[in-house]
Amino acid sequence: MADVCVITGGGSGMGLAAAKCMPRDKILIVSGRTLSKLEKAVTELSELGFQAYAHTCDTSDRKSVQELAAFAADKGTVRNVINAAGMSPNMADPEKLLRVNALGTVYVNQEFSKVMGAGSVIVDISSNSAYVLPKFLISHKTYGLAETDEESFLKKSIKKSNLAKTDYQRSGFAYALSKNFVVWYAQKCAFEYGKKGIRVCSLSPGLIATDMGKLEEKEGSAMLKFAAEERMGTPEELGYAIATVADERNGYLAGVDVLVDGGSTNGKAFRSN
Ligand SMILES: NC(=O)c1ccc[n+]([C@@H]2O[C@H](COP(=O)([O-])OP(=O)(O)OC[C@H]3O[C@@H](n4cnc5c(N)ncnc54)[C@H](OP(=O)(O)O)[C@@H]3O)[C@@H](O)[C@H]2O)c1
């Protein structure tokens, strides 16, 4: 059976860029909500020599994720899952952001781990926004509710987001919270699924020049003055980083977040003047 690589959010941006960096002998499945975008991605990937399929999926809907996992398992051995589906503060309100970014990650990891075996890997895409929250606002107890009591998880997380003043700040807070959750959840899954030989990591990009990155540029570019080269990242740079982390040959990288933000998070300590 051939190896299958599934990329949620694979119709655009860094998900599609990562798909292009995968080994040519893998069957690629690009997924998202918009079929036309996925079909265009499949055409591009086919021209590069990949065997690629489009399959629509809304990752905030568990049933939809189950269907995607079944579709992938039918095509071959599910070896790599890159969970790049996500929404940003300018795209949605706090509830939507938490449903897609946080609960979507729970559904993807849980449903795919059922069809994956030893030597496979899941990479959940977070954000360097995961690192901006004050520690006292982060509750791992609340995060745990995402698996046991979704409505309470949402209610508590939205309540925290609503402490912010403007609509954008509320969404920004929910985005940061949802991405901090992704880092925590990928680690939790790494130790749970490690027993089955499934490796799990998260990867946190900084501001990247995808459609989403351009939409967030006005508010997000404040971080760029802390980046080593003081610039945005390119989708291609992130695609390569993601594909490397998702490569099964990188077998000892597990239970960590890989921060690919041009140094902008750590740069604060060095560029404070
Ligand atoms: N660009 C940045 O500056 C930046 C920085 C940090 C982190 N990130 C994260 O990186 C990931 C990739 O983003 P990108 O920059 O490559 O932006 P992008 O091009 O907008 O990619 C996001 C993809 O996710 C899909 N998507 C959105 N909601 C979905 C849902 N409910 N179910 C399934 N697919 C969904 C979108 O397709 P449809 O709309 O067709 O579903 C889109 O193809 C996201 O998780 C984002 O939060 C981005």
**Ligand 1 mean position to 14 CA, how many Å?**
8
pLDDT for res 268 = 85
pLDDT for res 188 = 98
DSSP 22: S
Q: Is residue 80 part of a domain?
A: yes
- Which of the four pLDDT bands, split at 50, 70 and 90, describes residue 232? very high
Q: Is residue 220 part of a domain?
A: yes
CB atoms within 10 A of CB 41: 24
- On the question of pLDDT at 272 being above 90, the answer is no
- 259, 267 Cβ separation under 8 angstroms: no
Q: Is residue 269 part of a domain?
A: no
Q: Is 5 left (phi over 0), alpha (psi -120 to 50) or beta?
A: beta
Ligand 1 within 6 A of 267 CB?
A: no
- On the question of pLDDT at 122 being above 60, the answer is yes
Pick from 103-107, 207-211, 222-226, 240-244: least confident: 222-226
CA proximity to 165, closest of 153, 173, 156, 176: 173
Query: What is the position in ligand 1's atom list of the atom closest to the CA of 60?
Result: 31
- CATH for 154: 3.40.50.720
Cα–Cα distances (Å) from 20 to 42, 48, 148, 169, 259, in that order, read: 11, 8, 36, 35, 21
- Which of the four pLDDT bands, split at 50, 70 and 90, describes residue 230? very high
Query: What is the position in ligand 1's atom list of the atom closest to the CA of 88?
Result: 47
- On the question of pLDDT at 273 being above 60, the answer is no
Token pair for residue 153?
């998880």
Q: Is residue 272 part of a domain?
A: no
**Ligand 1 mean position to 182 CA, how many Å?**
14
pLDDT for res 271 = 79
Q: Is residue 186 part of a domain?
A: yes
Ligand 1 within 6 A of 12 CB?
A: yes
Query: What is the position in ligand 1's atom list of the atom closest to the CA of 34?
Result: 40
Spatial distance between the Cα atoms of 272 and 114, rounded to a whole number of angstroms: 46
Percent above pLDDT 70 for the chain: 99
**Ligand 1 mean position to 194 CA, how many Å?**
27
Ligand 1 within 6 A of 58 CB?
A: yes
pLDDT for res 28 = 98
Over residues 236-261, the pLDDT tens digits come to: 999 999 999 999 999 999 999 999 99
Over residues 152-187, the pLDDT tens digits come to: 999 999 999 999 999 999 999 999 999 999 999 999
Domain range spanning residue 31?
3-257
Query: What is the position in ligand 1's atom list of the atom closest to the CA of 38?
Result: 40
Q: What is the mean pLDDT of the chain?
A: 97
Ligand 1 within 6 A of 6 CB?
A: no
Q: Is residue 126 part of a domain?
A: yes
Over residues 190-215, the pLDDT tens digits come to: 999 999 999 999 999 999 999 999 99
**Ligand 1 mean position to 91 CA, how many Å?**
10
**Ligand 1 mean position to 9 CA, how many Å?**
5
Structural domain tally of the chain?
1
**Ligand 1 mean position to 62 CA, how many Å?**
18
* pTM of structure: 0.98
Q: Is residue 262 part of a domain?
A: no
Q: Is residue 270 part of a domain?
A: no
Query: What is the position in ligand 1's atom list of the atom closest to the CA of 207?
Result: 3
**Ligand 1 mean position to 126 CA, how many Å?**
10
Query: What is the position in ligand 1's atom list of the atom closest to the CA of 220?
Result: 3
pLDDT for res 175 = 98
- On the question of pLDDT at 127 being above 70, the answer is yes
